[in-house]
Structure 1
């Protein structure tokens, strides 16, 4: 039964002319055999003028390979978006859908296309997203070259977008993290579907190292097929919290070890002394018990410092090392010892923690160096030092910072452990070595040389 609406060729051409899409028929090489009248309304061309030309000649060069693969069935998807030159010479965006069910005796390709240039409204929203998001979006080709990096790189990492577009981004990765980053990137290339999650340090534009997390995967299809898309975010605050938690756990472990071991000895002595005192009534046993109680009080004081000691980044401030040293010296029983201050520069530290550090070093110097020891505090380009002219380290420095280690009969062994903990909390380094006079010297590396 004939179609009551399309009774003539004119009717059919009228419908094709008003259709929202352009119908095209090409041979297998994409030479145009037929194009519907809508081509004039949608793209400005006269339909007859395109017959015999190749469809790909009007496709943007950057999109040609993808369009060819889609139209000829080399790709699994039957549609794609790409740039197409209209009759005015401008690039417009087309969406083309390939018909795979056309029944014909001739070898031809049939597809429909429509103008989707109004979709830049979405692109504008996407541009806003990649500009203001907390992540940096990077697109790499198969060789690891940057094809695109989002404008947010300036806000997150401090670099100009154009500068990073032409850079080898792996040059900004910390040397200690580079091998793993390259390995993970290689897996994304070699193993489609593999999702890499990489934590690494990245050099910020101001020269500092920040912690970053990068997540990436190779794109399986679409305009970015075979490319690797990576999002990167600054996780420095999270890493700082993790490091502080790790330090707290270490302090807790030291605290529990000390309670189970170091407090047990004076308790055993106290228990034994009281038992002998009850049996004999001799004064010496009571005196021994009192000494054990005094030692336990001292241990408890040091253990509380060890358990609580930390550094609040908000409390880091510029410290006058000379003035703080004099203050710490006044809080220690220094007997006939002497303090000399040669600090030419201030340092940045938590004042309360620094006071604790200096008090422990001064107390240690007097206990091990003698009543008349001279202690000197000074600064260098790399940080500061505390040195004395006492006995030095007769047993070496290997065990100095271990909890409970002491060469003094009445020492608790927690003074230098607390010092090391304060150093760790500031992200400094401490080196114990001999002074020029043969005494002890502690160097604190906390500044760039």
Structure 2
């Protein structure tokens, strides 16, 4: 039987495998290089030039010393040496796995066989897999892999964060076991109808079970990869959307509350965006205009709902608000889509959101309020007119009767005339109050110091025997001069007209603004407002058993309230009455 040529067999195997083989002596000199077609591109030098050279000539010092150490270890121990190394080959760094073993002992010199396998691509694949693992561990989304029956075959590291289970704890279980019973059929149908497709599916929201038995709202999206050799099923990515779902529920509740509030208050909201030139209406506003086919209107369409007599002022207010930011509140009539005429209060203000200027506001049905207001105005006007006429006649007849009355009856005549005079004064005061209330309460800033000085000068002239002391501060309050003047004229009149002291005195103090409020205090040394009057003014209402004696202090209280202010009153018999009024303060620009 012929002897087996082991070297021939070795060379044959080497030439059929994608490896390199070198024969190196104890000094590190290359004696032979066995290469093949697979490995030509991995040689660090042409075989014809490398044979006879040492590792010190072919490699860098550090690399050569490492190879020399492996050669020594293989020769001394007879044990195969395994090691990895890298070499720059044709402009690219390649990774190798090396094996060294001593050659047969009957050779004339010590030699090792050095087999090298290029593992560059394997290393790159492993590195890519490691990167994928790190990525899966770092993302918040849970990644699951299931087979085509939706049984879990893989779980990412996000599972403990999302559900509380350990990674891999659910592997082998059907994913539907961890879906809320109310959502199971929906999720099953969603995934099963996608299994015949390929690629990503539409996301679906449902509740997933936590390890502690509670539920978490998640959004899942599947990618069907049945034909992928490494997957063979479905990749499902899920993330926690509990905050989004709660926010959505909250917005729905708020929307429902808003709808109910709009219906109860007969009002609605609107928003105008100049960039789209459209007005967006809430459902409440739609109901007021009696339209149902659109939530958005062109701006001219919106203006056309207003009565032709009111359109100009609405358009002007809109334009002014858009250009200068001045808000508006206007009572106007509209003609609804069904032809009904209504009174509405339209308010608007300018704001900026994400760099986009817009107008927002509210429209409220005030038809009933306007009707009551008009009826009261007519009754008020008729009563004042008739009252003045009748009182004029009473005064005239009283004078005529007085000529024929005996002396002992003159006192009754005087009382009749005095009562008529008081009623006429009350009618005039009511007229002045009605005029003031007809104005917009806040038209701009009012400088208080010059206004107070003017009022004090008028009452010094009207009541020359009185002493009027002032301590004024240069402050401003938002309002209108007519209303503020009427407030303090009434307080001065009340303080001086009913003061029975020998030296009637009024002290007016304007205090420096504090906490965005300016305080104005007016005190007198008169007999003091009665406890009944104080209680009625402070409570803001009258009853059949408890009412004030005139309209003047009511006028003051109402006007202060309409200016967003507050009025307090204190009085004693021996120290007089003090009214303290607080109004919003406005800084000087």
Larger-Rg structure:
2
TM-score of the pair, normalised by structure 2? 0.35
Instruction: Give 1 or 2: higher strand fraction.
Output: 2
RCO comparison, higher one (Cα < 8 Å, 6+): 1
